[in-house]
Chain A
């Protein structure tokens, strides 16, 4: 380390890209190209990428919270069931209790959904944090209880349809913001990226900390702008069926982006976020440092409940119905996304951005296999194998890292 910048590692460091993120991006691109070839060019089309983005949003929203749960040395097996329970509850309120067609219906439904999700998470968090029942057990019980609860709400009956303004949240044909707004958001985001980079340099300079070289900064900003604007262009190139009107960014993807940003800011800039990582690294030391670790655990599970509620809103809006099976097995995709994204089950290590990449990889695999027409039994076998191999690569990589700490 510390050598001239001509080495590959020096270059990556100057740009600020982690080797593991780069490896995941490479894997993602390889998967996309492979599916594109295997599906005779169906995969990398605007329509499929748009769908992929929408499909990723439910797992992505859940993954942002699951990373932190796993980082804090816990697990949440109940997210799929909480998602389903919230979805069913909100459908009951929207369809059978609140006035159909009323303007307040959808906002009130969203409020109910969030409240139910937070309550479900807080309930489990209380048992884990204050009654010291292991999270695995509490949330395994939650998996059963909330799935059963979802069925009991309507004796298994499906409730439909949802309000038109609620459906927008699911990213159906009405659920995108169109080209002009998409470009405006993309440009706004680009300006913010540049401004943040410049401000960061300035702050580092005032404190006399080392600053990344200019060329590295420019490459880094350039990659970000390419990603943002490339994404907007892709979403805009998917046209509404039988028209020439671009769809633009789907609403659920906007929700996902907003949540990722909020969660990133929370983990990086608040004491709560830092305590989650500290607990994962050394729970006893964190407690002895005067941190109320039980409260942190409790809030963390309540937060996971809120995220499950958001995922439940998106999934229900997308289905345009409340069903008691919504979100079944979602917990497995979400845990897999977090783990593929580099979250260590030993705790203390994991990033939200990594988990989102993991979610995109998981969803790409599922999407691609469906496009190929593989039977669902085979899909499960392949996903399982990928999970083992991803973690094996991760373990190997980490071991090498600790053997030569440079």
Chain B
């Protein structure tokens, strides 16, 4: 069996007195898509924010390629190959595509100045790979469509050769065609051996793209299943009740 790309073991987190996560364990293998499902407040977002370096866990361990790592900032997460695509399309609307793609990791000239020409060229190359055509790379991304903006966020992950991708509701702001486009991108990234945590409310999307699903409720993992072994109705029942259907008790965990 191959080694997991990521293991999050026994992660807990509380905000003040409120327990957000309690002893949560999930893992992710290369070329695999794992769907995280649960109601609002189930702890999905907190969990991925810990992996992305936006929150620090209060307990537990994170291993990347079997090595324990400390992820205490977004920069540290990127350092171990974790890129995040946020639900809110974490782009600065007033900046253009290259500025957003390289935000926080700008290319510099020999003299330490921003190298806008090289960044523009690299952005064009990445968007060409994603088959995204933009009239001008110099326009603020606020003037672009939802799909184009999502492509820039995904392009960022591709350019920096992410090994692990976190996608938080990647299709929430998109129309049907653009959702299909993002779906194709996910399949392409899988083929390249990238592991993806996919968070979505859309059960259909998840079953279409994910190899396994982890269901969460009240800050705990209800269970993890291969999508080929469970029905959408079973999963829905778990999301709502937080209990395992009797018959599938022993399917949890690995592969």
- Chain A 271-289 near chain B by CB (<8 Å), digits 1 or 0: 1001001101110111111
In-complex Cβ contact of B106 among A1, A209, A271, A287 (8 A): A271
A220 to B75, CA, bound (A): 42
Give the interface SS of chain A, mostly helix, strand, loop or mixed. helix
**Known contacts A207-B121, A209-B120, A405-B143; is A286 also within 8 Å of B93 by CB?**
no
* Inter-chain contact A288/B84, CB cutoff 8 Å: yes
Is A203 in contact with chain B by the CB < 8 A criterion? Answer: yes
- Residues in A neighbouring B91, C-beta threshold 8 A: 281-282, 285
- Residues in B neighbouring A405, C-beta threshold 8 A: 143
- Residues in B neighbouring A291, C-beta threshold 8 A: 103-104
* Inter-chain contact A286/B117, CB cutoff 8 Å: no
Within the complex, what minimum Cβ distance (angstroms) separates B19 from chain A?
Answer: 24
- Residues in B neighbouring A281, C-beta threshold 8 A: 91-95, 142
**Known contacts A291-B104, A405-B143; is A282 also within 8 Å of B90 by CB?**
yes
Within the complex, what minimum Cβ distance (angstroms) separates A341 from chain B?
Answer: 16
Is A269 in contact with chain B by the CB < 8 A criterion? Answer: yes
- Residues in A neighbouring B99, C-beta threshold 8 A: 274, 278
Is B244 in contact with chain A by the CB < 8 A criterion? Answer: no
Within the complex, what minimum Cβ distance (angstroms) separates A325 from chain B?
Answer: 38
A207 to B125, CA, bound (A): 12
A207 to B94, CA, bound (A): 24
* Inter-chain contact B104/A277, CB cutoff 8 Å: no
A266 to B250, CA, bound (A): 61
A281 to B90, CA, bound (A): 10
**Known contacts A278-B95, A282-B90; is A269 also within 8 Å of B114 by CB?**
yes
Is B113 in contact with chain A by the CB < 8 A criterion? Answer: yes
* Inter-chain contact A282/B74, CB cutoff 8 Å: no
Is B133 in contact with chain A by the CB < 8 A criterion? Answer: no
Is A348 in contact with chain B by the CB < 8 A criterion? Answer: yes
**Known contacts A203-B117, A285-B103, A405-B143; is A348 also within 8 Å of B74 by CB?**
no
- Residues in A neighbouring B114, C-beta threshold 8 A: 268-271, 274
**Known contacts A270-B113, A290-B74; is A284 also within 8 Å of B90 by CB?**
yes
- Residues in A neighbouring B84, C-beta threshold 8 A: 288
- Residues in B neighbouring A2, C-beta threshold 8 A: 135
- Residues in B neighbouring A349, C-beta threshold 8 A: 94
A269 to B106, CA, bound (A): 11
Is B204 in contact with chain A by the CB < 8 A criterion? Answer: no
* Inter-chain contact A277/B121, CB cutoff 8 Å: no
In-complex Cβ contact of A282 among B52, B75, B92, B135 (8 A): B92
Within the complex, what minimum Cβ distance (angstroms) separates B162 from chain A?
Answer: 14
Within 8 A of A (CB), among B104-120: 104-106, 108, 112-114, 117, 120
A288 to B91, CA, bound (A): 10
* Inter-chain contact B92/A287, CB cutoff 8 Å: no
* Inter-chain contact B113/A269, CB cutoff 8 Å: yes
A270 to B112, CA, bound (A): 8
- Residues in B neighbouring A280, C-beta threshold 8 A: 92, 94
In-complex Cβ contact of A287 among B74, B88, B105, B121 (8 A): B74
A1 to B91, CA, bound (A): 25
- Chain A 104-136 near chain B by CB (<8 Å), digits 1 or 0: 000000000000000000000000000000000
* Inter-chain contact B104/A290, CB cutoff 8 Å: yes
Within the complex, what minimum Cβ distance (angstroms) separates B131 from chain A?
Answer: 19
* Inter-chain contact A278/B92, CB cutoff 8 Å: yes
What would 17 more interface pairs be, CB under 8 Å, given A286-B103, A349-B94? A209-B120, A274-B99, A274-B103, A278-B95, A281-B94, A281-B95, A282-B90, A284-B90, A285-B86, A285-B91, A286-B92, A288-B84, A288-B86, A288-B90, A291-B104, A348-B93, A348-B94
Pairs A-B, 8 closest by C-beta atoms: A281-B92, A285-B90, A289-B104, A281-B94, A290-B75, A348-B94, A290-B104, A269-B113
Chain B positions within 8 Å of A, measured between CB atoms, are 52, 54, 73-75, 78, 84, 86, 88, 90-95, 99, 103-106, 108, 112-114, 117, 120-121, 135, 142-143
